[in-house]
Amino acid sequence: MRPFFLFFLLLGLFACKQPNAYGDGAMLYEKHCANCHGEQGEGLEELIPPLAQADALMQAGTAAACWIRYGLDGPILVNGQEFDNEMPENKALSAVEITNVLNYIRNSWGNKGEFLQLDQVQNQLLNCQK
Protein backbone atom coordinates (compact mmCIF):
# COMPACT_ATOMS: atom_id res chain seq x y z
CA MET A 1 0.00 0.00 0.00
CA ARG A 2 2.77 2.42 0.88
CA PRO A 3 4.61 2.20 -2.53
CA PHE A 4 1.27 2.71 -4.27
CA PHE A 5 0.61 5.87 -2.24
CA LEU A 6 4.15 7.14 -2.80
CA PHE A 7 3.84 6.61 -6.55
CA PHE A 8 0.69 8.75 -6.76
CA LEU A 9 2.14 11.39 -4.47
CA LEU A 10 5.18 11.76 -6.73
CA LEU A 11 3.00 11.71 -9.82
CA GLY A 12 0.94 14.55 -8.37
CA LEU A 13 4.02 16.59 -7.54
CA PHE A 14 5.41 16.25 -11.05
CA ALA A 15 2.04 17.13 -12.56
CA CYS A 16 1.93 20.35 -10.53
CA LYS A 17 5.33 21.54 -11.67
CA GLN A 18 4.88 24.08 -14.45
CA PRO A 19 7.65 24.35 -17.00
CA ASN A 20 8.70 27.76 -18.31
CA ALA A 21 5.88 28.40 -20.75
CA TYR A 22 8.03 30.75 -22.80
CA GLY A 23 11.38 28.91 -22.71
CA ASP A 24 11.21 27.63 -26.28
CA GLY A 25 10.00 31.01 -27.49
CA ALA A 26 12.90 32.73 -25.73
CA MET A 27 15.45 30.46 -27.40
CA LEU A 28 13.85 30.92 -30.82
CA TYR A 29 13.68 34.69 -30.31
CA GLU A 30 17.36 34.79 -29.40
CA LYS A 31 18.27 32.80 -32.51
CA HIS A 32 15.99 34.41 -35.10
CA CYS A 33 14.91 37.85 -33.85
CA ALA A 34 17.23 39.37 -31.25
CA ASN A 35 19.92 40.31 -33.76
CA CYS A 36 17.62 43.00 -35.15
CA HIS A 37 15.03 43.66 -32.43
CA GLY A 38 17.51 43.47 -29.53
CA GLU A 39 17.87 41.14 -26.58
CA GLN A 40 15.31 43.13 -24.61
CA GLY A 41 13.03 43.88 -27.57
CA GLU A 42 14.27 47.47 -27.67
CA GLY A 43 14.65 47.73 -31.46
CA LEU A 44 17.25 49.98 -33.06
CA GLU A 45 16.45 53.69 -32.93
CA GLU A 46 14.60 54.76 -36.11
CA LEU A 47 15.62 51.67 -38.07
CA ILE A 48 14.00 48.67 -36.37
CA PRO A 49 10.84 48.89 -34.28
CA PRO A 50 10.84 47.83 -30.66
CA LEU A 51 8.83 44.85 -29.50
CA ALA A 52 8.91 45.93 -25.85
CA GLN A 53 5.60 47.61 -25.03
CA ALA A 54 4.85 47.83 -28.76
CA ASP A 55 1.24 48.76 -29.45
CA ALA A 56 1.31 47.39 -33.01
CA LEU A 57 2.45 43.97 -31.80
CA MET A 58 -0.20 43.74 -29.13
CA GLN A 59 -2.98 44.98 -31.43
CA ALA A 60 -1.98 42.60 -34.23
CA GLY A 61 -2.65 39.44 -32.23
CA THR A 62 -2.26 36.39 -34.44
CA ALA A 63 -1.71 38.56 -37.53
CA ALA A 64 1.85 39.03 -36.27
CA ALA A 65 2.40 35.38 -37.27
CA CYS A 66 2.26 36.54 -40.89
CA TRP A 67 4.97 39.12 -40.19
CA ILE A 68 7.26 36.40 -38.87
CA ARG A 69 6.55 33.91 -41.66
CA TYR A 70 6.47 36.30 -44.64
CA GLY A 71 8.25 39.40 -43.36
CA LEU A 72 7.15 43.00 -43.69
CA ASP A 73 7.70 45.33 -46.60
CA GLY A 74 6.42 48.83 -46.18
CA PRO A 75 5.77 51.19 -43.31
CA ILE A 76 4.49 50.14 -39.90
CA LEU A 77 3.46 52.48 -37.10
CA VAL A 78 4.73 51.44 -33.66
CA ASN A 79 4.03 53.59 -30.61
CA GLY A 80 3.38 56.60 -32.85
CA GLN A 81 6.64 56.24 -34.80
CA GLU A 82 6.78 55.05 -38.40
CA PHE A 83 9.33 52.42 -39.40
CA ASP A 84 9.90 51.64 -43.08
CA ASN A 85 12.64 49.03 -43.29
CA GLU A 86 12.04 45.56 -44.65
CA MET A 87 11.70 42.72 -42.16
CA PRO A 88 12.96 39.48 -43.71
CA GLU A 89 10.70 36.45 -43.96
CA ASN A 90 11.34 33.33 -41.95
CA LYS A 91 9.57 30.49 -43.72
CA ALA A 92 11.75 27.92 -41.96
CA LEU A 93 9.90 28.38 -38.66
CA SER A 94 7.01 26.00 -38.08
CA ALA A 95 3.61 27.10 -36.80
CA VAL A 96 4.56 25.70 -33.39
CA GLU A 97 7.77 27.75 -33.33
CA ILE A 98 5.98 30.91 -34.46
CA THR A 99 3.37 30.38 -31.73
CA ASN A 100 6.16 30.01 -29.15
CA VAL A 101 7.92 33.17 -30.36
CA LEU A 102 4.69 35.17 -30.34
CA ASN A 103 3.75 34.04 -26.84
CA TYR A 104 7.24 34.92 -25.64
CA ILE A 105 7.39 38.41 -27.15
CA ARG A 106 3.77 39.18 -26.25
CA ASN A 107 4.60 38.44 -22.60
CA SER A 108 8.09 39.91 -22.20
CA TRP A 109 9.57 43.36 -21.55
CA GLY A 110 6.39 44.80 -20.10
CA ASN A 111 4.05 43.24 -22.67
CA LYS A 112 1.09 41.38 -21.21
CA GLY A 113 -0.71 39.59 -24.00
CA GLU A 114 -3.30 36.88 -24.21
CA PHE A 115 -1.76 33.43 -24.64
CA LEU A 116 -2.15 32.41 -28.30
CA GLN A 117 -3.08 28.83 -29.13
CA LEU A 118 -1.43 26.84 -31.90
CA ASP A 119 -4.69 26.41 -33.83
CA GLN A 120 -5.23 30.19 -33.83
CA VAL A 121 -1.78 30.76 -35.31
CA GLN A 122 -2.17 27.94 -37.84
CA ASN A 123 -5.48 29.41 -39.05
CA GLN A 124 -3.91 32.85 -39.33
CA LEU A 125 -0.96 31.49 -41.33
CA LEU A 126 -3.40 29.94 -43.81
CA ASN A 127 -4.93 33.38 -44.37
CA CYS A 128 -1.85 35.57 -44.61
CA GLN A 129 -1.81 38.00 -47.50
CA LYS A 130 1.57 37.41 -49.09
How many C-beta neighbours within 10 Å does residue 55 have?
11
Pick from 60, 55, 58, 59: which is nearest to 79 by CA? Answer: 55
- What is the pTM (predicted TM-score) of this model? 0.82
Give me the residues paired with residue 44 across strands: 48
CATH class of 22-126: mainly alpha
State how far the Cα of 30 lies from the Cα of 11, in Å rounded to an integer.
Answer: 34
* Confidence at residue 71, expressed as pLDDT on a 0 to 100 scale: 95
**Domain spans in the chain, listed from the N-terminal domain onward:** 22-126
| pLDDT tens digits, 40-89 | 999 999 999 999 999 999 999 999 999 999 999 999 999 999 999 999 99
- 105 versus 12: the higher-pLDDT residue is 105
Residues 58/111, Cβ–Cβ less than 8 Å: yes
How confident is the model over 105-118, as a mean pLDDT? 96
